[in-house]
């Protein structure tokens, strides 16, 4: 999953050639950069996390917050064995300009400042390049609320995760039902049956 120096050079040349092509096409600079960014990200994402064909990148957001875990018995069959179980995320969402886009919380739910929400379920996961980071995910939308930037979202990718994993120790009978928060960051890519121009229509959020 690591990127080599030669791959970085290739991606940079790809961007240069994309921008040079603008002089002979009707494609805007913003659209060209968006398409380049989407292609660059796609080349680093495992095939198991790729979105279905026909879906376009609508929005990219970074998240900064915590993963909340609760100490619980592993199962009814093993009531004396305990483990940290994911309870919910709790993070702020930022757009590519670093401005407040919304929040991410239990569901898992992504809620924008315009009131629109999308709730999704995990379809597949892949180990992060860093062993200390939570997995990368592909999620499918299962419900929406209100019109807005998240109303058209069909698929979500969680990539570039840092941190977020629970500790190996500290969960036993004496700490049953205790919550802990583990800091994490990640990027979320939102896809739908729209054109990539939607990415720039929502810059003000």
pLDDT single digits (tens) 128-175: 999 999 999 999 999 999 999 999 999 999 999 999 999 999 999 999
Which domain covers residue 142, as residue numbers? Answer: 52-201
Number of compact structural domains in the chain: 2
12 and 59, same structural domain? no
User: Is 165 in the same domain as 79?
Assistant: yes
Spatial distance between the Cα atoms of 181 and 100, rounded to a whole number of angstroms = 22
- Domain match, 178 and 107 both: yes
Which residue, among 191, 178, 148, has the nearest Cα to 71 in the 3D structure?
A: 178
Do 102 and 159 have their domain in common? Answer: yes
Do 72 and 20 belong together in one domain? no
Write down the pLDDT at residue 17: 38
Clarify whether residues 88 and 173 are in a common domain: yes
State whether 82 and 28 are in the same domain. Answer: no
Nearest-10 Cα torsion for 114, 194, 201, 34: 130
Task: Give tens-digit pLDDT for 14-26.
Answer: 433 333 443 444 4
**pLDDT: which is higher, 103 or 14:** 103
| Residues 40, 59 within the same domain | no
User: CA angle, corner 92, sides to 149 and 150, nearest 5?
Assistant: 15
Looking at the fold, whether 160 and 182 belong to one and the same domain comes out as: yes
Name the nearest CA neighbour of 32 among 45, 46, 44, 21: 21
């Amino acid at each position: 999953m690591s990127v080599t120096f030669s791959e970085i050079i290739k991606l940079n040349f790809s961007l240069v050639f994309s921008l040079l092509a603008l002089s002979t096409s009707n494609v805007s600079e913003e659209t060209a950069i968006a398409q380049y960014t989407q292609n660059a990200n796609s080349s680093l994402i495992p095939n198991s996390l790729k979105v279905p064909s026909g879906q376009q990148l609508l929005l990219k957001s970074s998240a900064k917050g915590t993963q909340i875990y609760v100490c619980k018995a592993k199962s009814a069959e093993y009531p004396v064995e305990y483990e940290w179980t994911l309870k919910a995320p709790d993070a702020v969402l930022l757009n590519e300009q670093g401005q407040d886009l919304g929040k991410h919380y239990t569901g898992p739910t992504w809620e924008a400042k315009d009131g629109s929400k999308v709730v999704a379920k995990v379809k597949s996961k892949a180990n992060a390049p860093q062993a200390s980071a939570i997995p990368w995910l592909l999620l499918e939308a299962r419900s929406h609320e209100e019109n807005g930037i998240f109303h058209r979202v069909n698929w979500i990718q969680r990539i570039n995760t840092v941190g977020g994993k629970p500790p190996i120790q500290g969960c036993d009978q004496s700490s049953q039902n205790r919550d802990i928060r583990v800091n994490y960051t990640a990027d979320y890519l939102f896809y739908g049956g729209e054109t990539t121009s939607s990415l720039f229509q929502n810059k003000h959020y």
